[in-house]
Amino acid sequence: MNSPIINQLFESLTYDRSIGRPVYLQLADALLSLIKNGKLRSGQKLPGSRELSALLKINRITAAKAYEELQMQGWLESAVGRGTFVSTHVADHHPETLKTISPASSKIAGFIFQPRDYPNSILETPIPGLHLDDGYPDPRLSPLKEFYRAYRNQLTRSGLYPKFGNYGNPAGPYPYRQAIAEYLNTTRGLKTTAENILSVRGTLMGINLICNALISPGDIVVSEIPGWRRAEHNFLHAGAKLIGVPVDEHGLMVDELRKICTKQKIRMVYVTPHHQYPTTVSLRIDRRLELLRLSNEYGFIIFEDDYDFDFHFKHRPLLPLASADENGMVIYCGSFSKSFSPAFRMGYLVAAENVIEHLAKVRILLDRQGDHVLDNTMADLLNDGTVQRYLRKTLSVYQERRDFFCDLLSNELKEAVKFTIPEGGMSVWTAFDKTIDLEKLSKNAYREGLHLSDGKTHQYADYNDNAIRLGFASSTKEDLARSVEIIRKLIL
């Protein structure tokens, strides 16, 4: 016979038959809580299953299953003829609140770590119907049906085990790397083979992988100002010393880079030469050649982020720095996120074979091999011309939207904004009058159903042009007109 205190303790246990969790598991959870809280002590005898079922007015089988569940987990033990007890292996303890931090829970860890001031990756508010984003493609134009068909084919064709029954090459599946090599050779003038390609899940993964594999604490990395904060924070996280070089209407000011080279040993230069992020300007040919020459002379890596090469409107796109690299100094990175949708996490790194081999070994520490099914799907779309046809179609659509949007900015916002019509890309770098508070404008626009940047991510200690990127590609003409009208009402 158990004591009245034990009976009272067990009578307080509750369960809810209306929820999906079985009653015996609810009961097991409640008993476990009593043990963890010290209300049931090590070696303490528990009511028998018959007594427990009577106390809780449940089926005896349910009570027995709850005990069995906790016995399997090691919290209870039973002896024939003696009954069921709290395991003697469970030490009695009373958790103490750590003095240096708040009590541990599902929200606050019980250990100390040092948070870093990185950009927030989670949107705090949902995107409204209207948006002038950072320069994203329109997923409604993407070849989703063709993509679905190619993906399904990957899973229904014969030979599934040789393709997917085991781990594959961490650099990516050969069909994907071969398709990417041929695509880049044709469209960008590169001279690559499959051995020069490594599959990544987008540009950020490529940057992070380079930091892990090639950057050591204390190395100097040079980047553009203004530039891409997420890239910069990867360099800082790797322990690198980050030096910014200004950008003007002709791209990175290479003369300033040369001055740094004469004084300090640079490990890597991160650059977006085709459509500089965020200003969209192109790096002029003389600066391109000088950047390559400096790289050869001083031995620094050039990381070329070519995030939207395929969308250039005025003339044929300028060929990448990698196409003129004769000494293996350039690591070239591209992604399909700016071609299809940010949700498509497919990209590639291009480098000398020994670099790719090294990166593949380091990549295993983070991601064993990536998504080979997804990569082979993209290979099929490249090989059958789907991607090429899609890009030709969307290029004309985005150019039309760019022209329409720039006319709206000129006619509706007049002297309140200044911009140069971009030769390519999916956004317009727009400088607002100094009297306009971009943070306030962003908040007020959101209340009107329009999402746009507040400009904070493009501000630096020695740089503030009161400018933001206004993406036009993901919106229809009607939405662009409504968006500009909202801005006009708020600032004029």
Q: Is the pLDDT of residue 255 over 90?
A: yes
pLDDT digits (tens, 9 = 90+) for 36-66: 888 888 888 888 888 888 888 889 999 899 9
pLDDT value of residue 366: 84
pLDDT value of residue 195: 96
Q: Is the pLDDT of residue 303 over 90?
A: yes
CA distance 308 to 421: 16
pLDDT digits (tens, 9 = 90+) for 76-122: 998 888 889 888 887 665 555 555 545 555 677 777 877 777 666 55
CA distance 176 to 266: 33
CA distance 301 to 209: 14
pLDDT digits (tens, 9 = 90+) for 365-418: 988 877 888 898 899 999 999 999 999 899 999 999 999 999 999 999 999 999
pLDDT digits (tens, 9 = 90+) for 452-483: 999 998 999 888 899 999 999 999 999 999 99
pLDDT value of residue 144: 87
- Which one is predicted more confidently, 320 or 162? 320
Q: Which domains does the chain show, CATH number per domain? A: 4-86 (1.10.10.10), 130-137+393-491 (3.90.1150.10), 143-388 (3.40.640.10)
CA distance 389 to 177: 20
Average pLDDT over the chain, rounded to an integer: 89
The answer for residues whose C-beta is within 8 angstroms of residue 136's C-beta and 6 or more apart is 338, 341, 342, 426, 471, 473, 474
CA 206 from chain centre, in angstroms, equals: 11
DSSP letter for each residue of 72-124: HHTSEEEETTTEEEE-TTS--------SSSPPPSSSS-SS------PPP-S-S
CA 256 from chain centre, in angstroms, equals: 32
CA distance 38 to 492: 67
pLDDT value of residue 338: 80
CA distance 424 to 432: 21
pTM: 0.80
pLDDT digits (tens, 9 = 90+) for 128-186: 889 999 999 998 998 889 989 988 888 887 777 776 777 778 888 999 999 999 999 99
